Amino acid sequence: MEAQNSELKFVRAIGYILAVTLVFGCSSWFGVVNVQGMPHIGATARFDQPPEWAVLQRELINQMNTSVDVFIEKYLADDGSFRYDCWGKLDDSYETFHNWPTFYTLGGDDRFLSLAKRQWETITRHFTNNGTLENEFHRCNDWFHLGEGSHLFYMLCLADPADSKFIDRAQRFAGLYLNENPSVKNYDSDRKLILNAQTGSSGPLPWIPEQPWEYVWTIEHYGLPFYDIPGIADYADLNTDNNMKEMAAVAHARWGRGDGPINLAVTSLMLNAFLATGEDKYRHWITEYTNAWINRVQENEGILPDNVGLSGKIGEYIGGKWYGGYYGWTVYHGWGGYAQSTGMAAENALLVTGDFSYLDLLRSQIDLLLKLGIIKNNTVYVPHKHGYSGKVFNMPMSFLPVLRNPDGTCKEVNGWFKFMPMDPVGPVHLWNMSMDPADLERSKEIRNHDPEARWSRDWEKIESISRFMAKDHGGHEAAWQAYLDGTYPTYPEEILKYNIEQVSSRLDDIHQHQPKEHDGFSLIYRNPISVEGLVNLTMGAPLPFYNGGLMMARVRHFDPENKRPGLPPDVAALVSGLDSDRTVLHLVNLSQTHSRNVIIQAGAYAEHQFTTATYLPQVGGEASLSVNAAHLMIHLPSQSQIKLDITTKRFVHKPSYAFPW
């Protein structure tokens, strides 16, 4: 009887293989076929019980497909404008919807594309009417905020590269920094610098010496912009006598002209246009401007300077000091901002050139800060800011684990201060691009072991990240990396459960919320779409750098039946292994009745190439297919799965937003 059952199973398997062959139109053993030049594989492994991660993944997608209606009904009018006059600042308004097109590209409902476009158009129209925008672009702002606000736009271009209006905008916006508008000059192509820390469609912030800014915007926990102004030793001093005006006058003189590395976010504006059009002028600008900052780091003895004058001289308006610039090392976010701007520039330059040496821009600064670090409880606390040596620094962000002196002020060593564990986002992005074992070790070196510090041991657990630090609804880069490294095997299930709970809790919050005028910033945290787990697991990638980065992923999926990006209905995907030349991908079709086809793309922009795909059919043992292409079609019958181990050449093709068809 056992022998008869085995024979019957074998006959059924052969019958299934022949059926797959007929579906694709030409025969090949183990279901491997070729249609219209695209390599194909047919899955033959059936399951009785699907993997838990696959069920959770589809549950999360289904939940978000419907949960958005609660948000829309509460906060949006029919045209997409905010109810209750709930408008915030421009960047906050865009940020509220930043991941809606991303969700669509992952396999979310079709309507997310049209909804995201509607929101972009409505927000743009509103801020054009109030004078903030000119020609659909901010008149003048810094690229910390412009980068945040651009994420929605970039993801729309990724989601629908056939939309001529958005492609025209991509070219027009990038043209503002190519000086293609005769009335606007934001960039000095001779000295390779952007003319101001605040630029836009109206050009750089005007420099008028006799009209200094009326005040300097700051918050106590960010500290002072400068510590060398007589009579202003701490934040409280700003509110006495004419000190605020005095500080404003100094800030105007020092910040009113010249470049800063926060402007490296403009490389993403150029990359977006390059991916949409393929025009080489955008690639040239990315490498030219990134190279300029690499040269400035070398000129400044390995430290990223935060201000460059219009002559190209470091510290030109700050007495020769390399620190003290706008959104620089001394005030606001310090390394928190520069991990983003140097990271995205390094990624962007690598993507368009295939040159891994660009990653040294980010890597060199990580190494610099690690060398300056102080060990506490087996954790390296690295300085995130630099100011004036010997000065008393105040208490930035009391909720952060900053090393302090007995009187509560920040510990300072040779001008470096705000010592705290390094956020893993920069090191993980570095490793994601390089796949260098040494960069993996860097990520491990910065791990937070300190039981007294917030987010301790964040590489082995899923937990709620503070709202301030997670506007992208993410923050689990270290845990995702640990999963791929083999030390956190339950990460897929745990992150998906967390995301599902995250969506549910936001729906509860929406129901209880009493909106107020100009409450737009809070809506960012009530957006029920949360895609970190989906990006990690289905694309093999961290979330993009929030301050203007683009998606940098190992794979991307397309639905050929519906001619759209994202996983087809019922299909779940798990990238379970990444190496410099290897991609391990598990695909599951949960449908009990329908077969599905899915196209796997090598890289977010087909920048990689699959060489050989090894897989395990139902019968006959392991099989391999020579792919040698950027795309691979997989046929998944109902209740089937396949695990692929694909050798991969990275950064060998010109990247593009173009769809496989």
Q: How many CA atoms lie within 13 A of 72 on its CB side?
A: 17
pLDDT of residue 578: 98
**CATH top class, domain 2-50+554-649:** mainly beta
Q: Which residue has the tokens 């219209």?
A: 36
Tell me what the pLDDT averaged over the chain comes to.
Answer: 92
pLDDT of residue 596: 98
- Where the chain has pLDDT below 70, the residues are 1-36, 396-397, 464-469, 618-620
CA torsion 627→628→629→632, rounded to 10°? 10
Task: Of 445, 447, 465, 466, give the one whose Cα is nearest residue 457.
Answer: 447
List all residues 6 or more positions away from 398 whose beta carbon is below 8 Å from its beta carbon: 221
pLDDT of residue 214: 76
b/e 192-226 (16+ beta carbons within 10 angstroms → b): bbbbbbbbbbbbbbeeeeeebeeebebeeebbbbb
Distance CA 74, CA 83 (A): 8
pLDDT of residue 22: 39
Amino acid in the structure at residue 55: V
Q: What DSSP string describes 180-223?
A: -STT---EETTTTEES-SEE-TT-SPP--TTS--S-----GGG-
Q: What DSSP string describes 516-565?
A: -TT-HHHHGGG-----HHHIIIIIS-PPPPTTTPPP--SEEEEETTTTEE
Element (H, E) at 326: none
Residues forming a β-bridge with 564: 559
Element (H, E) at 587: strand 582-589
pLDDT of residue 128: 98
pLDDT of residue 453: 87
Residues forming a β-bridge with 379: 376
Axis crossing angle, helix 143-159 with helix 266-277, rounded to the nearest 10: 20
pLDDT of residue 14: 43
CA torsion 103→429→574→580, rounded to 10°? 140
Task: Of 292, 235, 284, 299, give the one whose Cα is nearest residue 263.
Answer: 292
Q: Strands 379-386 and 374-376: what pairing? A: antiparallel
pLDDT of residue 396: 64
Instruction: Give the sign of the dihedral formed by CA 360, CA 361, CA 362, CA 364.
Output: positive
pLDDT of residue 6: 45
pTM of structure = 0.94
C-alpha gyration radius of the chain: 26
Residues forming a β-bridge with 380: 375
Task: Of 192, 183, 155, 545, give the one whose Cα is nearest residue 348.
Answer: 545
Q: Which residue has the tokens 């949360």?
A: 530
